[in-house]
């Protein structure tokens, strides 16, 4: 995250901190920039160098980088900055990704499904908006640790353990996180924790892309832990880390978009994840079906989902609802969701 933090510092935070927490020193910041390209340590008055986060490019610090009592290397500033980035930038990524999917990919005929909730999109957005700032609180210590140099993030391809690792790190990251998320997700379905922690995400029987981040905060954080732990255990290129961060958010939206493109026995795509939301106890994996097959929880998506004429048919929906209601009673007891009359009214109009 040091690359991301440096970008935000250069173009936003330096000026904000200089305004909010100005230095009391009479030292002319511009002169310091010209003389030494340095910042002031939070521990002493002597200037210390600002080290670039990457050798791929150079971002020249402005005079504002030296005008704050909270310099860039101040851990409290880093913590606050990373919290704001994690929360607000995460919110932007969520809204942009989910909105693009909602407008151009999501099948709006889902609105007519009998298990589509009244005001569901509004409820999904509300849940995600509540969860993201809280998830950020738990996530920031990992990011601060990375910026402070405790992770095994590396900058140049030549810094990898061996050259091929620059390619292998991507499937390795996916395999590592897929394994642990499977078991974390399955654990969240244990009766002792499901209703408190994971049921808020299962409120959406027929999710929209806005359900992608609509979790209980602890649930959302728990399933993200493997992503954050990986670079503390294994080497990971800094740019690859950013690419994977963006990919994970896109993938999370993708598996909730209701557009069943890939009928793959290996990839845990939207169809597999729809089976999970409909029938609860199947397809816990994040990226692949490997650990569901190993753990006996894999359920192949119904063939009807891949044919539009049957996917949106009344007969298919009735079959889905009948089985879903049976499993739902076993898992949750009484169904407290508010489906309202809107879905049934629209269904009569469309089907």
pLDDT of the residue at 341: 61
Angle between helices 90-104 and 120-147 in degrees, nearest 10: 140
C-alpha 74: how far from chain center: 27
CA distances for 288 relative to 18, 181, 315, 319, angstroms: 47, 11, 30, 26
- Of the candidates 201, 208, 204, the residue with the CA atom closest to the CA atom of residue 106: 208
Calpha distance 107→84 (Å, rounded): 33
What residues form DSSP beta bridges with 47?
40
C-alpha distances (whole Å) from 342 to each of 256, 278, 347 are 21, 20, 8
Alpha-carbon distance 257 to 206, whole Å? 10
The answer for residues whose C-beta is within 8 angstroms of residue 259's C-beta and 6 or more apart is 105, 106, 107, 270
DSSP state letter for 208: -
Question: Each residue of 2-38: pLDDT tens digit?
Answer: 999 999 999 999 999 999 999 986 544 444 444 343 3
By CB atoms closer than 10 A (0-12, 13-18, 19+), residue 301 is buried
C-alpha span between 111 and 346 (Å, rounded): 8
Those residues whose C-beta lies under 8 Å from the C-beta of residue 194, and which sit 6 or more positions away, are 188, 331, 332
Residues of the chain with pLDDT under 70: 25-49, 262, 340-351
Q: Which two tokens stand for residue 316?
A: 């298919």
Question: Nearest CA to 166 among 234, 233, 227?
Answer: 234
Q: Which residues pair with 336 in a beta bridge?
A: none
Between the alpha carbon of residue 134 and those of residues 50, 130, 219, 234, the distances in Å are 31, 7, 11, 27
Q: What is the pLDDT of residue 303?
A: 80
Distance CA 215, CA 202 (A): 9
């Amino acid at each position: 995250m040091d690359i991301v933090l440096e970008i935000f510092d250069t173009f936003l935070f330096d000026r904000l901190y200089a305004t909010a927490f100005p230095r009391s020193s009479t030292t002319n910041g511009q002169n310091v920039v010209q003389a030494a390209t340095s910042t002031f340590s939070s521990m002493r008055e002597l200037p210390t160098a600002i080290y670039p986060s990457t050798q791929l490019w150079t971002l020249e610090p402005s005079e504002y980088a030296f005008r704050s009592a909270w310099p860039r290397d101040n851990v409290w500033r880093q913590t606050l900055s990373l919290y704001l980035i994690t929360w607000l930038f995460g919110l932007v990524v969520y809204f942009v990704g989910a909105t693009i999917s909602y407008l151009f990919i999501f099948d709006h005929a889902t609105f007519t499904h009998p298990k589509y909730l009244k005001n569901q999109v509004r409820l999904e957005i509300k849940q995600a908006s509540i969860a993201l700032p809280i998830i950020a609180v738990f996530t920031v210590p990992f990011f601060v640790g990375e910026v402070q140099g405790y992770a095994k993030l590396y900058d140049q391809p030549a810094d990898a353990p061996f050259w091929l690792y620059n390619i292998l790190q991507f499937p390795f990251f996916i395999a590592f996180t897929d394994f642990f998320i499977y078991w974390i997700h399955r654990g969240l379905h244990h009766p002792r924790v499901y209703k408190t922690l994971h049921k808020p995400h299962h409120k959406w029987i027929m999710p929209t892309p806005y359900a992608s981040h609509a979790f209980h905060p602890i649930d959302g954080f728990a399933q993200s832990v493997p992503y954050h732990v990986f670079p503390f255990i294994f080497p990971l290129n800094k740019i690859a880390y950013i690419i994977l961060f963006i990919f994970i958010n896109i993938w999370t939206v993708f598996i909730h978009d209701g557009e069943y493109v890939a009928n793959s026995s290996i990839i845990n795509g939207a169809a597999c994840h729809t089976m999970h939301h409909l029938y609860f106890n199947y397809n816990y994996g994040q990226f692949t079906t490997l650990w569901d097959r190993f753990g006996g929880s894999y359920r192949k998506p119904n063939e009807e989902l891949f044919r539009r004429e049957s996917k949106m048919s009344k007969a298919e929906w009735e079959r889905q609802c009948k089985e879903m209601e049976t499993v739902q009673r076993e898992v949750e007891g009484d169904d407290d969701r508010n489906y309202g009359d809107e879905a049934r009214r629209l269904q009569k109009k469309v089907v």
